[in-house]
Amino acid sequence: MKKQQRLVVRTAILLVLLAAVGYTIYANFFTEKTAVAVGSTAPDFVLTDLNGQKHRLSDYRGKGVFLNFWGTWCKPCKREMPYMNEWYPVYKQQGVEILAVNVGEPKLSVKKFAERFGLTFPIVIDQEDQVLNVYNVGPLPTTFLIDKNGKVKQIITGTMTKEDIRRHLESIKP
C-alpha cells in the first residue's frame, strides 16, 4: 500500500516538473517577444522612487525623457551618474527629465548610493525586474532616449561621457 502511494506521489511530482519545463520551453521559444525599438512607443510603467512617490512614464508626455537603467554595483553606471546629475538642473528647465531605473536592488543600497553621489534626479526601483524585462535591457547601463510624444529616439548601451550625456539630453528637448 505504501509503495503504491509513493508511486502516485512521485508520478504527480514528475508530471508537475514536466509541465513546468514544457511551459518554460513554450514561453521562451514560441511566444512573440516585442522588443522596444527605435521609433516605437515606449511602454508605460509605474515605479516608486526613494521618497515613496509614484512615477508613471506617460505622465512625462510633452517632455523628453532620458530613461537610464542602472545598478549600484555597475562601474560604468557609477562613472556616468555624476555627469547625469550635473546636467539634470540645466535640462530640466528645458523640458527634459532624467529618470533612473535601478534594477531590483534593496532600497537602502540605492538610497546610500544616491546620497553618496548627491543625486537629485528621480530614482525609481524596479523591484521585480518587470520594466527591465519589458524593455529587454541587456547589459547595464542602458539608456532610452524618449521624445515628447513618447517615442523611442535612440537606445544607448554602455557608459557615456559628460559630453555624450549633454548631446543626448539636447537631442530630446521638446
pTM, to two decimals: 0.80
Interval 16-68: pLDDT, tens: 887 767 666 655 555 445 578 999 999 999 999 999 999 999 999 999 999 99
DSSP-derived pairing of the beta strands 64-70 and 54-56: unpaired
Backbone phi, then psi, for 54, in 5-degree steps? -85, 140
Strands (E), 57-158: 64-70, 96-102, 123-125, 142-146, 152-157
CB 36 within 8 A of CB 134: yes
Superfamily of domain 40-172: Glutaredoxin (3.40.30.10)
Looking at residue 31, what is its pLDDT? 46
d(CA 111, CA 134): 24
Domain ranges for the chain = 1-31, 40-172
Interval 100-132: pLDDT, tens: 999 999 999 999 999 999 999 999 999 999 999
Region class of 118: left (phi > 0), else alpha (psi between -120 and 50), else beta: left
Looking at residue 72, what is its pLDDT? 96
Long-range contacts of 82-87 (CB under 8 A, 24+ apart): 82/117, 83/160, 83/161, 83/162, 83/165, 84/119, 84/121, 84/165, 85/117, 85/118, 85/119, 85/120, 85/121, 86/162, 87/162, 87/165, 87/166, 87/169
d(CA 120, CA 100): 11
Interval 91-102: pLDDT, tens: 999 999 999 999
Could you tell me which residue, 59 or 15, shows the higher pLDDT? 59
CB 167 within 8 A of CB 86: no
